[in-house]
């Protein structure tokens, strides 16, 4: 077959810098051997690094084809979104206060008998973003599901605002002030066949503000829904539109609008910007920082190293179900160093982690 073609859609989403570099070396070899490669990505630095030409799309339309060397990341993002986008996350230094989330000696064995989490310890404080970095499949999902009540631990305890939540229901955990942006928005984040309005109030429809016992206060629900649709820029025909008719980015905005507007004390943000455009990403990043500045404790789990490094105030790295590194100041670690810990090539001593983590 002449001129074989290869199509890659977000191929580096879960890769470390070292793995990404190796992938790019292989792609360059394939290109030099005559292959045509289509590389689809929201990571503009990678598009600039690997491509010769770039096609930019917005709202399902082609808005231009350019030689990559002739266009900047800022120009690409502007064409993608239709406006200027701030690519650099702007935030001041955090001022953490009391501990909101406490995880102590947490262990979990899955259905196959494999130890997925082993003796996990960390705190998240009010007004702080603690990032969790790691190649997917190293216990991050199980950790989040235990904290949010979707799983029960085999050992250890989780406390939110001083309340042990090991055996609490998901509803009770949310009533302690916990909001959750799940990794899988379609399975855990929304009811796809329900309307935007129904999804936006799904965590509060029992409150007296909206529920009069036998009847719902439809006027208040409509007002709230219209307000959130406008505030969070959800692109829809009306709040009555079914969620499954929205784009992935707008579905994520529905989840974010509900979770951010619930006055959380603790936000668990698991892959909050996966698969969405730079405009929606910029918006969500800005909102996360705003919540932090209002005193919310935030646990951020992300496979996007740029995201987890720029948003986080402090950072832990997970490998093989363990915390293998802790960085009190996330701004002082490089991608390459982080990648080495994520791949298990480096590991801080338990004493070193504990000394910094509980200083």
Q: Are residues 121 and 170 in the same domain?
A: yes
Are residues 262 and 322 located together in one domain of the fold?
yes
Residue 10, in any domain of the structure: yes
Residue 87 lies in a domain: no
94 assigned to some structural domain = no
Q: Are residues 76 and 104 in the same domain?
A: no
Domain count, the chain: 2
Asked whether residue 305 is assigned to any structural domain, the reply reads yes
The residue among 48, 81, 114 that closes a domain is: 81
d(CA 107, CA 123): 16
Range of the domain at 280: 99-357
CATH of the domain at 241: 3.40.50.300
Does a structural domain hold residue 332?
Answer: yes
Q: Are residues 76 and 120 in the same domain?
A: no
With 0-12 / 13-18 / 19 or more C-beta atoms within 10 angstroms meaning exposed / middle / buried, residue 278 is buried
Asked whether residue 86 is domain-assigned, the answer is: no
Q: What is the pLDDT of residue 76?
A: 87
The pLDDT value recorded for residue 248 is 83
The answer to whether position 306 is within a domain reads yes
Residues 109 and 146 placed together within one structural domain of the fold: yes
What integer pLDDT is reported at residue 359 of this predicted model? Answer: 52
Question: Has residue 20 been placed in a domain?
Answer: yes
Map residue 73 onto helix, strand or coil: helix
- The structure tokens 């009847």 sit at 215
74 and 204 inside one domain: no
What are the phi and psi torsion angles at 197 (to 5°)?
-60, -45
Answer yes or no: do 339 and 201 share one domain: yes
Q: Are residues 118 and 26 in the same domain?
A: no
Cα→Cα distances 90→285, 288, 311, Å = 9, 11, 9
Beta strand 178-181 with 129-133 is unpaired
Low-confidence spans in the chain with pLDDT less than 50: 1
Residues 137 and 22 in one domain: no
Residues 67 and 201 in one domain: no
What pLDDT shows up at residue 336?
A: 86
Is the separation of the CB atoms in 350 and 357 below 8 Å?
A: no
44 and 183 assigned to the same domain: no
| Entry pTM | 0.84
Q: Are residues 228 and 295 in the same domain?
A: yes
């Amino acid at each position: 077959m002449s001129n074989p073609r290869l199509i890659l859609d977000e191929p580096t989403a879960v890769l470390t810098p070292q793995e990404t570099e190796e992938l790019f070396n292989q792609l360059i070899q394939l290109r030099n051997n005559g292959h045509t490669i289509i590389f689809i990505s929201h990571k503009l630095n990678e598009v600039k690094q690997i491509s010769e030409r770039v096609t930019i799309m917005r709202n399902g339309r082609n808005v231009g084809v350019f030689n990559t060397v002739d266009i900047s990341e800022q120009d690409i993002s502007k064409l993608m979104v239709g406006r200027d986008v701030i690519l650099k996350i702007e935030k001041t230094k955090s001022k953490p206060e009391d501990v909101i989330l406490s995880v102590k000696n947490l262990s979990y064995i899955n259905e196959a008998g494999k130890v997925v989490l082993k003796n996990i310890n960390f705190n998240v404080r009010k007004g702080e973003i603690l990032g969790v970095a790691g190649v997917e499949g190293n216990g991050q999902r199980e950790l989040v599901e235990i904290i949010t009540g979707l799983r029960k631990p085999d050992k250890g305890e989780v406390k939110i605002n001083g309340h042990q939540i090991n055996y609490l229901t998901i509803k009770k955990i949310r009533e302690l002030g916990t909001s959750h942006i799940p990794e899988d928005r379609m399975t855990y984040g929304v009811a796809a066949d329900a309307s935007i309005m129904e999804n936006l109030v799904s965590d509060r429809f029992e409150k007296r503000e909206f529920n009069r016992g036998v009847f719902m206060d439809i006027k208040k629900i409509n007002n709230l829904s219209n307000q959130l649709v406008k505030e969070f820029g959800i692109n829809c025909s009306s709040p009555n539109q079914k969620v499954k008719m929205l784009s992935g980015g707008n579905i994520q905005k529905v989840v974010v609008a509900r979770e951010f507007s619930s006055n959380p004390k603790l936000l668990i943000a698991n892959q909050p910007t996966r698969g969405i455009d730079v405009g929606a990403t910029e918006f969500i990043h800005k909102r996360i920082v705003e919540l932090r500045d209002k005193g919310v404790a935030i646990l951020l789990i992300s496979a996007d190293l740029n995201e987890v490094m720029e948003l986080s105030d402090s950072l832990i790295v997970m490998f093989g179900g363990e915390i293998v590194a802790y960085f009190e100041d996330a701004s002082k670690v490089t991608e390459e160093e982080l990648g080495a810990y994520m791949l298990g090539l480096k590991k801080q001593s338990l004493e070193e982690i504990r000394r910094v983590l509980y200083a």
